[in-house]
Structure 1
Amino acid sequence: MYEIVQKLGQYWQYPFVRYALIAGVLIALCSSLLGVILVLKRFSYIGDGLSHIAFGAMAVAAVMNLTNNMPLVLLVTILCAVLLLRGGQNAKIKGDAALAMISVGSLAIGYLIMNLFSTSANISGDVCSTLFGSTSILTLSAYDVWACVILSIIVVVAFIVLYHKIFAVTFDETFAKATGMKVEAYNLFLAVLTAVIIVLAMNLVGSLLISALVIFPAVSAMRVFRSFKAVMLCAAVISVICAVLGILTSILAGTPVGSTIVVVNIVMLIVFAVLGKVSEGARA
């Protein structure tokens, strides 16, 4: 145990480790807050679909040799989220089918572009890092961290200020409309937040594993707690703990960061599922 602590102390001296932990904690916190809403509204698939769209945008940015691809990827992902939400209900192809088609198409086109217009000798490595987040979280710059901090603060403040509105829209849109609330505007706001968090989370777990970061903490918290506020707080704590443990384990064991974080989340889900069964038995 002492050797592990000593080794972590040595790693802490490196800026990339501090950057990874700061970004990881903030991304995990935002993902968990949004994840509770998406699970309750049965919109869990949105995170997966938008992550594939973000991959396609990231491939285009790589071909264009952009030194900082976040603005382009963020803009494309937000626009797609807005278009899918606003046009999905009235289009001939409904929202879930349209999202599936666009996400798979973006994934395929992005990979094709990276192969046809390759700017790197290691295409497989670049694709693997983007899809599974194997090294990107450990190569963050100070700019990336500050962008993550600013966007995360915006997300958290928005959730705190609009908590009651979000609660109403999540549980009963019909009643919220009857009270005069602009439900479409809040749904649009949630879609934009989802896009922002998806782009941030790509550096942590990669585009293929983002859904796990969003869904697992929320589902774990729901195994034990029933109130909306308790579930959100618990999901936030679970997500942050899993992110920290996953990053530290990957550094010590040399395992892929994204996959390690997801495995820790799976273990946490099993633990909370057992705790939920025990608590139900005790109440009975």
Structure 2
Amino acid sequence: MSIIGEILSYPFLVRALAGGIMISLCASLLGVSLVLKRYSMIGDGLSHLSFGALSIAVAAGWSPLKVSIPIVVAGAIFLLRLTERSKVRSDAAIAVISASALAVGITVTSLTTGMTTDVSSYMFGSILAMTKEDLIFAAFLSGAVLCLFILFYHRVFAVTFDENFTKATGVKVGWYNILFAVLTAVTIVLGMRMMGAMLISSLIIFPALTSMGILKSFLGVVVASGLISICCFVVGMIISYEWSIPAGASVVLVNLGVFLLCTCFRTAAGRK
């Protein structure tokens, strides 16, 4: 409790804690549907796309956030359309976008400003980079994601498991897919300030996989994923503060530890 009190005494850590909780919640809730729809690596691809966009923005002297969000949203929608209307598999499409955007970002960075503090914070994450603007964006984002799951839970469930049947019932599946793509893109851009391009996809994958290993119902998995993600983030922040290690890496390691513990417990229970 004393450590938590110390963390709350620093305004920048309070912003990071509040923003991180909201971003972790959004990533975990969206991650359940993304993992079930075999789009679990979309976070990795979009984070690299965002890195390419922010590298160009920093080099040109523009606002990284205002440039990255529309580009990543457009990339997410393009990725969705590409996999729906062509023979390109989702994993191949994500790999193409990821590698290309990362190459563009590295090239622009090396030819212009070099690895500045701004670029480094997006690449590897920096808890100091969370601003009031990020916090406001995170609040609106978490509100939108929570409304999506609370108000349209049954449609989200149907779109996640059987798009063809859902489309036959008259539900506009394409609209929901686009909404998921947009919310995921914004989550990725905001989460990069905290986790970095290399680690942001872990917020999408780990809580969803952990909750799927211990629960069977979709509602149970969604709720557990959100709770696990928030708890892992808070514990990761405490460890980061106490041991002076990067917050992003600390959060990922806590998520990994919880996932391995649940996997071992499930394996041991299955043998009895």
Q: TM tier, shorter chain?
A: over 0.9
Determine the structure 2 residue equivalent to 1:77.
Answer: 72
- Equivalent positions of 1:113-262 (< 5 A) are 113-118=108-113, 123=115, 126-133=118-125, 135=126, 137-262=127-252
Q: Percentage identity across aligned positions?
A: 41
Which of residues 265, 271, 275 is equivalent to 2:261? 271
| TM score, norm. by length of structure 2 | 0.93
Question: What is the CA deviation profile of residues 223-276 of structure 1, one whole-angstrom value per residue up to 9, with x for unaligned ones?
Answer: 110000001111111000011111121112110111110000010001211332
Deviation for aligned residue 1:93 = 5.0
Determine the structure 1 residue equivalent to 2:53.
Answer: 57
Question: What is the CA deviation profile of residues 3-33 of structure 1, one whole-angstrom value per residue up to 9, with x for unaligned ones?
Answer: xx43442332110010010011001100110
Return the alpha-carbon distance in structure 2 between the equivalents of residues 261 and 126 of structure 1.
21
Q: Is the 8 A contact 1:224 1:275 kept in 2?
A: no
Gaps of 5+ in 1: none
Report the residue type matching 1:202 in the other structure. Answer: M
Deviation for aligned residue 1:102 = 1.9
Determine the structure 2 residue equivalent to 1:11.
Answer: 7
Deviation for aligned residue 1:167 = 0.2
Q: Is the 8 A contact 1:131 1:209 kept in 2?
A: no
Return the alpha-carbon distance in structure 2 between the equivalents of residues 116 and 96 of structure 1.
30
Deviation for aligned residue 1:115 = 1.4
Which of residues 10, 26, 29 is equivalent to 1:30? 26
- C-alpha change, 1:107 and 1:202, in structure 2 (3 Å) is same
Which structure would you say has the larger Rg? Answer: 1
Q: Is the 8 A contact 1:224 1:279 kept in 2?
A: no
Report the residue type matching 2:175 in the other structure. Answer: A
Deviation for aligned residue 1:179 = 1.1
Deviation for aligned residue 1:153 = 1.1
Question: What is the CA deviation profile of residues 189-222 of structure 1, one whole-angstrom value per residue up to 9, with x for unaligned ones?
Answer: 2111111111121122111111211010011111
Question: What is the CA deviation profile of residues 55-100 of structure 1, one whole-angstrom value per residue up to 9, with x for unaligned ones?
Answer: 101111111223x421211100001111221234334755443332
| TM score, norm. by length of structure 1 | 0.89
Aligned residues: 272
Which of residues 100, 103, 118 is equivalent to 1:105? 100
Deviation for aligned residue 1:172 = 1.0
- C-alpha change, 1:125 and 1:231, in structure 2 (3 Å) is same
RMSD: 1.9
Gaps of 5+ in 2: none
Return the alpha-carbon distance in structure 2 between the equivalents of residues 180 and 212 of structure 1.
34
